Amino acid sequence: MDINFEKSALLEIDVQNDFCPGGALAVADGDKVAAPLNGLARRFAAAGAPVIATQDWHPAGHCSFASTGRAAGEGEVLWPDHCVQGTAGADFHPGLDLRPVTLILHKGFRPSLDSYSAFFENDRKTATGLAAYLKGLAVDTVYLGGLATDYCVFFSAMDAVKLRFTVYLLRDAVRGVNYPEGSVEKALSAMESAGVILL
């Protein structure tokens, strides 16, 4: 894979214990994304290119938790409690090598606002600051991997396209929830249609 490291960044999306086997919101084979991400992250780090790891970082009683007892809004999914700040479930999976990581971005930390995308909260207006950070480094291309294909990876990739980044999705470095059934294939198709390049 030929990469222009001067203009590229690697985004490692939510490779956390709660999204891996044994976690509160486990993705099948979620831990398998670590090895390919580690290999690529080492190449980025050796070239002095940014490696950004996002981390779901929810307060207890977060609005996305089904345990709050509130009704889901239209098109909204409520989840088991997961990635609660300071818990082992919120930690990065031990298989993910954090040494090449240049920035850890917390998202979903506002009690009444969820965040799937690495770029925007789910209100689709509140920016996380990642786009400005990357533009400041003259990055115009992002490589994406992590969890989960049909949610946080999907929304991150789609927002990156809207923000005029060239976007590559690393197929061997993503895994999906597939809820509802078929959502992974639907997400991959939508990303490809939007201009995301599947590698």
152 annotated active-site? yes
Instruction: Spot the catalytic one: 56, 107, 114, 159.
Output: 107
CB 102 within 8 A of CB 130: no
Query: Strands 51-56, 141-147: parallel, antiparallel or unpaired by DSSP?
Result: unpaired
Start-to-end CA distance of the chain, whole Å, equals: 9
CB 157 within 8 A of CB 163: no
97 annotated active-site? no
Q: Phi/psi class of residue 121: alpha, beta or left (left: φ > 0; alpha: ψ in -120 to 50)?
A: beta
Q: Looking at residue 127, what DSSP letter applies?
A: B
125 annotated active-site? no
Instruction: Spot the catalytic one: 56, 83, 152, 159.
Output: 152
Instruction: Spot the catalytic one: 14, 56, 81, 150.
Output: 14
Just list the catalytic residues.
Answer: 14, 107, 152
